[in-house]
């Protein structure tokens, strides 16, 4: 079969990661066929030497018969308009997280996905991290879960929209990773949140938060703490069980099994670029006719938790999530 030809909307810092993997042949049976970027000159400078088509408008890319599937790597406030339009063109869509900037926008996308003939996948890339995958596979070693904690610390993004009302902030741009992982690792839904936020360096939106999540079943509680005002980068996760703990750092690429005072390193496969793995999983699902690994509904749940956390922080009280 000929390779799946991707059309990429967004060729900024993150979109370039998708483009690089597709151009380099890192994704079997897939290639980059067309790009669309707001900076048309930059798009042509990237595409022309590689024989890739450029489009000045996303709608033209969606309608391009030389494009088989779409990747959207644009600010999330654009998703509620672009995702339904891409699906309406009959193309499978891979959209970057968060699915939208609020629960209403995410519900709009879910409705479009349910009525579409082609699948939609949300690129919650941290699910595909080597440490996260190994931790999930090792959960049985620590017995029934009693607590899950996650924290991500990173330097300021440097992107103007990252501190803009309605599109930026740590809850939407970092927190959804943790909120999605809580569901992915526990199999439970978040039913209530208590959250506090702070602005350490940002002018408009929160760049730091701490959230306690009440879950629908065991382990019952999870804690997510993130900051975009750190002088370094780390990503720690601890799964606490009745028979031990699994402590991982997905920034450092380590995972340790803890029982009593004993600490045993868990062997890990070589680290893999998460964007590449997301693309591979998406292509494999399309080729095999199987459900995509991260559905629109799952993307919605992460956004709904972020929205509930923002409301909890604003009101200074717990917030329940709808079923």
Query: In the chain, what are the domain boundaries?
Result: 4-125+275-294, 126-270+304-320
Topology classification of domain 126-270+304-320:
Dihydrodipicolinate Reductase; domain 2 (3.30.360)
Least confident stretch, 56-60, 113-117, 153-157, 162-166: 162-166
The hierarchical CATH code for the domain 4-125+275-294 is 3.40.50.720
**Fold match between 4-125+275-294 and 126-270+304-320?**
no
Cα–Cα–Cα angle for 298, 165, 311, rounded to 5 degrees? 60
Average pLDDT over residues 198-218: 92
What average pLDDT score do residues 212-240 get? 95
**Residue for token pair 């070589």:** 270
**Rounded Cα distance, 150 and 148, in Å:** 7
pLDDT at 166: 76
* Burial tier of 173 (Cβ tally within 10 Å: 0-12, 13-18, 19+): buried
Q: Contact, 77 vs 84, CB < 8 A?
A: no
User: What pLDDT does residue 227 have?
Assistant: 94
Per DSSP, the chain holds a count of helices (H) and strands (E) of 10, 15
Greater pLDDT, 127 or 232: 127
Q: How many Å apart are CA 22 and CA 254, to the nearest integer?
A: 28
Distance, CA of 105 to CA of 109 (rounded, Å): 7
């Amino acid at each position: 079969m000929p390779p799946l030809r991707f059309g990429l909307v967004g060729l900024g810092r993150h979109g370039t990661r998708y483009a690089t993997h597709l151009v380099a042949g890192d994704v079997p049976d897939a290639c980059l066929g067309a790009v669309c970027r707001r900076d048309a000159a930059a798009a042509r400078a990237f595409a022309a030497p590689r024989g890739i088509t450029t489009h000045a408008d996303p709608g033209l890319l969606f309608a391009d018969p030389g494009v088989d599937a779409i990747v959207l790597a644009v600010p999330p406030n654009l998703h509620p308009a672009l995702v339904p339009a891409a699906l309406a063109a009959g193309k499978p869509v891979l959209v970057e997280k968060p699915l939208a900037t609020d629960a209403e926008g995410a519900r709009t996308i879910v409705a479009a996905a349910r009525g579409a003939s082609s699948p939609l996948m949300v690129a919650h890339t941290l699910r595909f991290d080597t440490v996260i995958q190994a931790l999930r596979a090792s959960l049985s070693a620590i017995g029934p879960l009693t607590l899950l904690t996650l924290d991500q610390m990173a330097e300021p993004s440097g992107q103007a929209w990252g501190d803009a009302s309605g599109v930026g902030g740590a809850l939407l741009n970092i927190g959804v990773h943790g909120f999605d992982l809580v569901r992915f690792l526990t199999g439970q839904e978040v039913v209530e949140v208590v959250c506090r936020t702070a602005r350490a360096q940002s002018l408009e939106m929160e760049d730091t938060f701490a959230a306690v999540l009440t879950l629908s079943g065991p382990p019952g509680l999870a804690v997510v703490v993130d900051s975009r005002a750190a002088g370094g980068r780390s990503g720690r996760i601890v799964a606490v069980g009745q028979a031990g703990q699994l402590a991982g750092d997905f920034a450092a690429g380590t995972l340790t099994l803890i029982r009593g005072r004993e600490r045993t390193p868990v062997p890990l496969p070589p680290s893999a670029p998460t964007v590449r793995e997301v693309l591979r999983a998406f292509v494999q699902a399309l080729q095999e006719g199987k459900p995509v690994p991260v559905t629109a509904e799952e993307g919605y749940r992460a956004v709904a938790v972020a929205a509930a956390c923002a409301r909890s922080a604003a009101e200074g009280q717990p917030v329940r999530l709808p079923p």
